[in-house]
Structure 1
Amino acid sequence: MSDRETSLSLIVGLGNPGSEYAQTRHNAGFWYVERLAERYNIPLKNDSKYHAISGRGTIEGHDVRLLLPLTYMNRSGQSVVPFAKFYQIATQQILIAHDELDMNPGVIRLKNGGGHGGHNGLKDIVPHIGADFLRLRIGIGHPGSKERVSGHVLSKAPSSEQQLMDQAIDHALAQSKALIQGQVQPAMNAINAFKPA
């Protein structure tokens, strides 16, 4: 259903709160939303009611809310679900940015719908609002074995990998206009074709 023309009203970045996690791979979703806020001069502030940092502003003529849950990754739904319900934001109007183990650093994909793919943040959201939201998947690479996943996502990437992830996020930011306006297919084509320099 990627041919829809629904404009976005809520953009969520998934991650973990606190300075000790700020630069870790699991916070790639946070990085995207923080840079989006910077790009469009949207102030982000503490929102204790929803256990989050949130902001509201105009992006390409559309009223958009930004949300960074501070509940820790595996409880992201405790922030996202009541926030979306209170502001009456339909699932189809939501974009969730998150890290993706199954893609290498420098790979970024826009996807519409689907399961949670084992991602702990999505696992806590999908059962409550359904799966029909956009996902911006930011590749962080896989450490090679299941036992090493936790340490991998909660550690900082080497600068070579970080540069690749930064390039990918910047590329996605350049497609903000099409995304916000609901031109999902053109945005998807452009984002998914990205190759790092």
Structure 2
Amino acid sequence: MPPDSFLLVGLGNPGAQYSGTRHNIGFDVIDAVAGKDGSAVFSGKWNALAAKVSLWGVTLHLVKPQTYMNLSGKAVVRFVDFFKIPLSSMIVIHDDLDMKTGRLKLVRGGGAGGHNGIRSIVDSIGSPDFYRLKIGIGRPGSGSTPPQMPVERYVLTSFHQEESQLIAERMSEVVVGLQKFIEGDANQAMNFLNSFK
């Protein structure tokens, strides 16, 4: 029997000063999905902003942890446990320094790849066996960013104009890919999303 509920988690940092930064692209995707359902209302729950929507024939729990990136797992584990979400029905959306800006990659399992938010989630739920949608943000030296900029500062910068346009285009493609996944075809979703290099 196909699952009737999914957990979509977008990673980022709370606060207006982080809005629109590279590290918050997970929040941006959650907002894009919520925009497909005009009735989505986010409220505070278990150290997160969360909304429950009916979309694509299932119940979606949309979650934006408010613990700061390094403690994301503290919020996520509460939703997994309470709603009894199998890890095969959870996608965590996050930025990736090792992929060029706008590249998309949907994977299941694997290591944290240096991403503290993913590491926190794996530690909190006790397993790496969930899906991650990685969205490339590039590294210092891309665009007009100086190569000597520290990574921890770079991830808190905003996208440059050309990058912003590309990310805006990617958002609609990300939503299509998530819909394919939720409608029951993880392989088709991977093939679609992973084609955006």
Both structures adopt the same fold (TM-score exceeding 0.5):
yes
Matched, 1:58 2:58: no
Report the counterpart of residue 135 of structure 1 in structure 2: 132
Query: Is the Cα contact below 8 Å between 2:101 and 2:138 reproduced in 1?
Result: yes
What's the TM-score once normalised by structure 1's chain length?
0.90
Find the aligned partners of 1:6 and 1:45 in 2 and give their Cα distance.
23
Describe the SS at the equivalent of 1:117: coil
75, 86, 89: which is aligned to 2:82? 86
Paired residues, what number? 190
Find the aligned partners of 2:178 and 2:9 in 1 and give their Cα distance.
14
> Superposition RMSD on alpha carbons, in Å?
1.8
Query: Is the Cα contact below 8 Å between 1:25 and 1:156 reproduced in 2?
Result: yes
Matched, 1:171 2:173: yes
Deviations 1:142-169 (A, max 9, x none): 1156861011101111111121222222
Report the counterpart of residue 126 of structure 1 in structure 2: 122
Query: Is the Cα contact below 8 Å between 2:4 and 2:59 reproduced in 1?
Result: no
Describe the SS at the equivalent of 2:20: coil
Describe the SS at the equivalent of 1:125: helix
Q: CA deviation at 1:50?
A: 0.6
Structure 1 gap segments, 5+ residues each? none
Structure 1 segments (4+ residues) deviating >2 Å: 5-8, 144-147
Describe the SS at the equivalent of 1:76: helix
Report the counterpart of residue 144 of structure 2 in structure 1: none
Describe the SS at the equivalent of 1:97: strand
176, 188, 191: which is aligned to 2:190? 188
What's the TM-score once normalised by structure 2's chain length?
0.90
Describe the SS at the equivalent of 1:39: coil
Report the counterpart of residue 98 of structure 1 in structure 2: 94
Q: Which has the higher contact order (CA 8 A, sep 6+)?
A: 1
Find the aligned partners of 2:18 and 2:170 in 1 and give their Cα distance.
20
